[in-house]
Amino acid sequence: MKILIIEDEQGLRETIRASLQKEKFVVETASDYFSALDKINDYDYDCILLDIMLPGGNGLDLLRELKRMRRSDSVLIISAKDSLDDKVDGLELGADDYLTKPFHLAELNARVKSLIRRRVAKGDLTIAIANLTLDPDKHLVLVGGIPLQLNRKEYDLLYYFVVNPNRVINKMSLAESVWGDNIDQADSLDFIYSQVKNLRKKLKQAGATVELKAVYGFGYKLSEV
């Protein structure tokens, strides 16, 4: 699950990043309007944490851009501005929630998880396809009710496939979903191939009634057997 933090205050930005990474999210950051605009133009996110007052522009304008692009990323406004007008404007422009600074990190994490559940699983705590079930809060995978042991990268890849069922996904999109800003740490896209191969093998051995299929020249897709 990939999060974008748009916040100009470095200390707060890094504190939020560290907190969300402990929750096993892939986290990217932007410190000003234009770097944030580049991010949302290039990538999709499960949730965007958005400050209103930014160097170079206004967070509400980024919301307008997301709306223009018909994007479905969940948006949580985090701002020191506690006026009713800002809240109303943000929600009318498509924000899903509003949290006023200062806030407790535990509340922020809970709201982020809630927004992702609302977006991906329609409020359910788990996501299911065929006999495969994922519990994003616990990072738990079940096949026919039996836990399936996956490493961190395998889990992140499976989550991305499960929330995009029957969609052909290329290797670059998979790499971005797993590494985010640190994609350069991946030796090559061959590593994605090996992780998908291992994941496919584990799913088959566990008796999953879903299959990771290679679509030659394009990428992979997850579908029911």
pLDDT tens track for 56-97: 999 999 999 998 998 888 999 998 766 677 778 888 888 999
Confirm if 195 and 171 have CB atoms less than 8 A apart. no
- Give 209's contacts (C-beta < 8 A, 6+ positions apart): 130, 131, 132, 224, 225
- pLDDT of residue 50 exceeding 90, the answer is yes
CA–CA distance, 61 with 17 (Å, rounded to integer): 23
Tell which wins on pLDDT, 132 or 137: 132
Q: What is the pLDDT of residue 195?
A: 87
Helix, coil or strand: residue 215: strand
- pLDDT of residue 188 exceeding 70, the answer is no
Please name the amino acid found at residue 205: Q
DSSP secondary structure of 120-179: HSTT-S-EEETTEEEETTTTEEEETTEE----HHHHHHHHHHHTSTT--B-HHHHHHHHH
- pLDDT of residue 122 exceeding 70, the answer is no
Q: Average pLDDT over the chain, rounded to whole?
A: 87
- pLDDT of residue 220 exceeding 80, the answer is yes
Please name the amino acid found at residue 204: K
CB neighbours of residue 115 within 10 Å = 20
* Domains of the chain with CATH codes: 2-120 (3.40.50.2300), 127-224 (1.10.10.10)
Q: What is the pLDDT of residue 183?
A: 62
Hey, what are 65's tokens?
């851009």
Tell which wins on pLDDT, 39 or 171: 39
Q: What is the pTM of this model?
A: 0.74
Q: What is the pLDDT of residue 10?
A: 95
Helix, coil or strand: residue 51: coil
